[in-house]
Structure 1
Amino acid sequence: MAENPMLKFVSVPRDMPQKRDASERRTDFHEIYAEYADRKAQEQSSRCSQCGVPYCQTHCPLHNNIPDWLMLTAEGRLREAYDVSQSTNTFPEICGRICPQDRLCEGNCVIEQSGHGTVTIGSVEKYITDTAWEQGWVMPIAPKVERSESIGIIGAGPGGLAAADRLRRAGVQVTVYDRYDRAGGLMTYGIPGFKLEKDVVMRRVEQLEQGGVTFVLNCDVGVDLSFDDIRAKHDAVLIATGVYKSRDLGGPGSGAKGIVRAIDYLTASNRKSFGDEVPEYDTGELNAAGKRVVVVGGGDTAMDCVRTAIRQGAVSVKCLYRRDKANMPGSQREVQNAEEEGVEFVWLSAPKGFAGDSVTGVMTQRMRLGAPDATGRQMPELIEGSDYVEDADLVVKALGFEPEDLPTLWGVDELEVTRWGTIKADFRTHHTSLEGVFAVGDIVRGASLVVWAIRDGREAADSILSYVAKPAAVAAE
């Protein structure tokens, strides 16, 4: 009887792909994890317990069929594993790199709960699709039938691109509008290369272009082209702009030179990696080289900023967060990577103000955790008389993002938004208050994960296809 290739979690320990030494990786922007060898990917996939209720799949926003593609990988049937993986995920190699697996699939792995160490789902997912690209298994977009319906998508981030892919495969005509000069949204200009190298994103954009998706870049809707004009050009419109308005820091001296937004700081660094001219970087305004850097915030954007500052050659890098390590919203894996690379975390600390016309320090208050709020999280409380100053030449505000006021910016007051400024959209169809206008991703959810935007984009594409097919069906009756 042939040996069962699975359920080897008792005899085979968890083993991540080799991570480059911190002293090496802090000098460049290359990804920090090596690829699995084929044998190692099979071995780690074989640890899956093939449990009857796969919590990994349940807790994946895309409900990826993880147990099946792990089994196929363990059996050496890698092309079939890729086919299963890409059937539910438009960009599996991107999710494999940047999803917080410790909070999603891997964090809910049954064998993790039993003390054996989770299956390395994200690393295997990345390996499967990287191999598929190398072997030529990733097929070009080739609709069987071209259709006349035209869809306009505003925003070339993960939600917009996922929808564009699904719509184009169905044969409809797709035009994507974006304010930046490259598609990809935060995957291109927000997430640093050490988490997601840019050729991985550009490869997908090129696939969409070759498949017939039209990109209109450097197009700021409401300035270069009106929203009404876009609606007039297309049979349906999808809003997938994301959220780019940074939450601000108040207090004395908050307008000092040297206090910058995370999005500006990360965009400058990523543009530099493309070889672009970036005057703000060259002058030092958005460059941490030789500086004492303080990043304020505890999410994944803050982790991107502190790790970028290390690579730019900062003298010191500190992260201020008002709660403790256990209560921070960012990935614990990213915190560990940052600590290995030399970032100092100053827990239970919050900025009160800033010293210097050109910032020289952050006036900091120490905190303690008090009673839980309505969500169950302990609320930070000030410790009176504990103020001190953190020396700083560059302060990066990484407090999260809020939606821009799209109804005002675009002159469409009838576009309904929530009290938080996000667009109101049906959670099943993604249809907004405007006829034929849909919305997905962070502009609906608030700042969230790439994988949720991909799910929204795929769902909205299906709703749009149903919507644009209705007039033809009615006419035929």
Structure 2
Amino acid sequence: MAKQPMLKFVQIERDMPSKRDATDRKEDFDEIYAEYAAAKAEEQASRCSQCGVPYCQSHCPLHNNIPDWLRLTATGRLEEAYQISQATNTFPEICGRICPQDRLCEGNCVIEQSGHGTVTIGSVEKYITDTAWENGWVTPGMPQHERNASVGIIGAGPGGLAAADMLRRAGFGVTVYDRYDRAGGLLTYGIPGFKLEKDIVMRRVDQLEKAGVEFVLNCDVDADIFAAIHAEHDAVIIATGVYKSRDIQMPGSGLAGVEKAIDYLTASNRKSFGDAVEEFDSGRYDANGKRVVVIGGGDTAMDCVRTAVRQGATSVKCLYRRDRANMPGSQRETQNAEEEGVIFEWLSAPKGFTGDDHVEGVMVQKMRLGQPDASGRQAPEVIEGADYVEDAELVIKALGFEPEDLPKLFGQADLPVTRWGTVKAAFRTGATDMDGVYAIGDIVRGASLVVWAIRDGRDCAEAIIERFDGKTAIAAE
């Protein structure tokens, strides 16, 4: 009888890849997790229970065939594992690094529900694709046949790139327009290298270029440019993401040294590329030697605090108005930040900033959790008389993002938006009420996860392919 390669979760304990010591890793922007060795990847993949109803798969926005590629990995069939992984996910090595697996696939792993540690799905996914790159199994998605149709994509983030990949494979001419000088969106400029090293993103962009996708960079789309894009292409996908930072207006908000998270992270990532960044070199976005306070409790706040540590901040504190159990950011990232010396001030919110011309401190008011609000979460309430001042020379506001006013920016009054400013688009297809115009990702959902943007990009591309295949069939008749 053949030896059972799976169901080893009883004999084998969960084992994550080794993590660099906090003292060492906070000195650079390199990724903090090591790679699995082949034997360890096979061992950890073999813990999968191959359950009949794979909740890991159903709770993955891309519905990745996780049990299948875990079994293939456990039996050493890595190229097949990569092909299965790539079939549903345009960028598995990116999702393996930055997806919040603790809230998605791993958080719904059946063996964890039965008292055993979850399968290390994200780490195995990363291992499979990194191995595929090393062995040359990842190749440009060249189409078998060219179509006499083109698609313009506004935004080179994960959603736009996922759509570009699928459309190019289907033979469409694809042009991606982006305001930045490099493609990748937040993958490139919003997420620090210790979570996602930039060569990982750039090699995917390079593959798309080799497949024939054209990139028009440093292109800030306005009314005239949008009109030109709309006229030039058979379909247009809006994949701009949401880049307008939420703000708080309170005493001292305009002081120098009170900065937006996206500007701070972009400057840091540009330095990692070796760019000359005046705002960083002048000290504005450099935390070195400063007491830093970050306001917010999401993943962007975690990126900011961990970046400040690596820049050499004297101290780094994070203010969040709820407690640890109610924070929206990844618990894994919070633990990593604490290991690196970040101090979290739970149930704390700013009420203003002190200083004359430059910020010198944050006026903090202590909170407690009261009755649940409309969302079901306990609403924070101010504790009277518990205010204090937290000294700081750099304050970073990581309060989330909102959509820009695209109808005004693009000169398209007919572009339908919601009361939140996001674009109204059909579920799954991304089609808007404007003929030939689609919208995907955060500009539709609001600030969300990279994996959801990839899902939207793939779904939209599939809808466009189906639409044009239908037209071709009708014309042939």
State TM-score, norm by structure 2: 0.99
2:71 partner SS: helix
Equivalents in 2 of 1:165, 1:293: separation in Å?
Answer: 40
Identity of aligned residues (%): 76
Q: Is 1:47 equivalent to 2:58 in the alignment?
A: no
Counterpart Cα distance in 1 of 2:46 and 2:453: 30
Confirm or deny that 1:246 pairs with 2:245.
yes
Task: State the 1:348 CA deviation.
Answer: 0.1
Do residues 207 (structure 1) and 212 (structure 2) align?
A: no
Shift of 1:471: 4.0
CA distance in structure 1 between the partners assigned to 2:375 and 2:399 by the alignment: 19
1:354 aligns to what? 353
What corresponds to 1:441 in structure 2? 441
Q: Structure 1: how far apart are the matches of 2:182 and 2:414? A: 30
Contact 2:364–2:390 (CA under 8 A) maintained in structure 1: yes
CA distance in 2, matches of 1:185, 1:475: 38
Taking the aligned partners of 2:472 and 2:15, their CA distance within structure 1 comes to 54
Query: What is the identity, as a one-letter code, of the residue corresponding to 1:460?
Result: C
How far apart are the structure 1 equivalents of 2:448 and 2:75? Answer: 35
Query: How many angstroms does 1:473 deviate by?
Result: 3.6
CA distances 1:192-226 after superposition (whole Å, capped 9, x unpaired)? 00000000000000000000000000000007x52
SS at match of 1:95: helix
1:94 has 2:97 as partner:
no
Q: Letter of the 1:350 partner, please give it.
A: A
2:72 maps to a residue whose letter is L
Unpaired runs of at least 5, structure 2 = none
Question: 1 CA distance for matches of 2:99 and 2:38?
Answer: 22
Runs of 4+ deviating beyond 2 Å: 466-477
Q: Is the 8 A contact 2:55 2:105 kept in 1?
A: yes
Structure 2: how far apart are the matches of 1:209 and 1:259? 39
Q: What corresponds to 1:428 in structure 2?
A: 428
Shift of 1:141: 1.6
| Counterpart code for 1:269 | S
- Does structure 2 retain, via aligned residues, the 8 Å contact 1:162–1:457? yes
Matched, 1:276 2:282: no
Which residue does the alignment assign to 1:163? Answer: 163
Q: Does 1:461 align with 2:461?
A: yes
Alignment gaps of 5+ in structure 1: none
Does the CA contact (< 8 Å) of 1:236 and 1:468 recur in 2? no
Partner of 2:254: 255
Secondary structure, aligned partner of 2:18: coil
Tell me how far apart the structure 1 counterparts of residues 61 and 20 of structure 2 sit (CA, whole Å).
30
Is the CA contact 2:403–2:422 (under 8 Å) kept in the aligned structure 1? yes
Is the 8 Å Cα contact of residues 428 and 456 (structure 2) preserved in structure 1?
Answer: no
Please state whether the residue corresponding to 1:85 is helix, strand or coil. Answer: helix
How much has 1:476 moved relative to structure 2?
3.2
Q: Tell me the alpha carbon deviations over residues 240-273 of structure 1, each in whole angstroms, 9 at most, x when there is no partner.
A: 0000000002110110000000000000000000
- Equivalent in the alignment of 2:59: 59
SS of equivalent residue, structure 2 residue 111: helix
1:305-384 maps to which residues of 2 (within 5 A)?
Answer: 305-356=304-355, 357-384=357-384
| 1:221 aligned residue | 221
- Contact 1:177–1:216 under 8 Å retained in 2: yes
Q: How does 1:104-143 map to 2 (within 5 A)?
A: 104-143=104-143
Contact kept, 8 Å, 2:44 with 2:119, in 1: the verdict is yes
Residues 235, 468 of structure 1: 8 Å contact kept: no
User: Contact (CA 8 Å) 2:162, 2:454: kept in 1 or not?
Assistant: yes
* Matched residue SS, 2:390: strand
Tell me the equivalent position of 2:18: 18
Provide the secondary structure at the position in 1 that maps to 2:444. Answer: helix
Equivalent position amino acid for 2:212 in 1 = G
Distance in 1 (CA, whole Å) between partners of 2:200 and 2:187 is 10
**Corresponding residue for residue 284 of structure 2:** 285
How far 1:93 sits from its partner (Å)? 0.1
8 Å CA contact 1:183–1:217 kept in 2: the answer is yes
Q: Amino acid of the residue matched to residue 401 of structure 1?
A: F
- CA distance, structure 2, for counterparts of residue 261 and residue 19 of structure 1: 30
User: Could you give the per-residue CA deviations for residues 257-303 of structure 1, whole angstroms, max 9, x where no partner exists?
Assistant: 00000000000000000000001000110110000000000000000
Alignment of 1:293-304 (within 5 A): 293-304=292-303
Distance, in Å, in 1 between the alignment partners of 2:466 and 2:80 is: 30
Secondary structure at the residue paired with 1:365? strand
Aligned partner letter, 1:285:
R
Q: Distance in 2 between matches of 1:226 and 1:184?
A: 21
- SS of 1:264's partner is helix
RMSD (Å) for aligned C-alpha atoms: 0.8
> Does residue 267 of the first structure (1) align with residue 266 of the second (2)?
yes
